[in-house]
Amino acid sequence: RVKVAALDGVLAKQIKGAREAVQMLVSYQDVEVRRRAVKASIDLMEPGEAVESLDLLSSLLYDQDVPIKLAAIKAISTVRDRRAIVAISGVVIDRSAEVKLAALDALAATGDKEALEGIQKAVFDDDKTIRIAALNATEKLGRKEAIDFLNELLRLETDPDIHAKAEAVVKALIAL
């Protein structure tokens, strides 16, 4: 409880000098302490500082706690660097649908060709909702490089909803 209260105080007062101590708690055993430490670490970052903390943020993507993963995705998505795209691409196969969806949204928002590989992994997910979200992310990404992949998917896909969505995405990408 003391650590939770201390982290709440650091957050409330935005104590920048506590950043190093806070970062030591992001791997603490208690989930409430970890959540607050992650929030404080991210909230205390200066604009553009996430790139310097990319290793720490990337490690948080593999925490067992979904809110921590989501916070990490949000922070990493502000970094315009190939390493950030690779890190987020790694969690499109997470157990949590919420994490997968957040990762897909973050990858699609980059507009970067490098994000395509991560998005494509999710097209083969067991969950149809994730598969549709991956196709939506492909469309939002807006990269014509995806057309060959989508044409191959269309050739193999048996689910009519997935097939229809893939066709729509191909048409949208061709129209770009």
CA 35 to CA 40: how far, in whole Å? 9
Span 123-137, pLDDT tens digits: 999 999 999 999 999
pLDDT of residue 155: 96
pTM, 2 dp: 0.90
- The dihedral over CA atoms of 87, 61, 165, 123, expressed in degrees to the nearest 10, equals 70
Please, are residues 91 and 120 in contact by the beta-carbon 8 Å criterion? no
Query: Residue 13 and residue 117: Cα distance in Å, rounded?
Result: 41
pLDDT digits (tens, 9 = 90+) for 103-118: 999 999 999 999 999 9
Can you spell out the DSSP letters for 47-100? Answer: TTGGGTTHHHHHHHTTSS-HHHHHHHHHHHTT--SHHHHHHHHTTTT-S-HHHH
At residue 122, the pLDDT reads 97
Contact 108, 140 (CB under 8 A): yes
Q: What is the pLDDT of residues 23-68, one digit of tens each?
A: 889 999 999 999 999 999 999 888 888 888 899 999 999 999 999 9
